[in-house]
Structure 1
Amino acid sequence: MRTYGLILWTCLLALTLNSVSAEDALSLGVRGGAVSFSVQMDLTGLDIEYLFWRFNSTHSVLRYSNESKNPLKTYDEYEGRVGLDPHTYALTLHGLDFPDSGVYSARITDHKGYEKDVAKHMLHVHEAVPELAFSMALLYFNVSEGSCNVSVLCEAGSSVVSATCDLERCVQVDTQLTLQHLHMGLSLVQGTVYCNASNLVSSRSKWGRMETVCTEEVVSPPMESMLGPLLIVLNASAPLFLPLLLLLLLFCLIKRRRHTGYYDKFTTKAQLKREFASVELLNIYEFEEFYRSPFPEESPKGNPADADRKLLLAPQTILDPYCVDQL
Structure 2
Amino acid sequence: MGGGGRMMSEQKYATIDIGGTAIKFGLADADGRLLERDSRPTLAKEEGGEGIVRKAVEIVQQYQKRYALGAVGIDTAGIVRPGLDGEIVFAGETSFPGYSGILLGRRVSEACGIPCVVENDVNAAALGEYWQGAAKGAESVFVMTVGTGIGGCFLLHGKVWHGAGFSAGEAGFMRVHGEHRLFEETASTRSMIQEAAVSHNVSPAGLKGSTVFAWAEDGDADAVLAIEHMIDNLSEGLANICCLLNPEVIVLGGGVMAQEKYLRPRIVQRIEKLVVPAMRSGTRIEFARLGNAAGMIGNLYHLHSAGLIR
What is the TM-score of this pair, normalised by structure 2? 0.21
More strand per residue: 1 or 2?
1
Higher relative contact order (CA 8 A, sep 6+): 2
Structure ID, larger Rg:
1
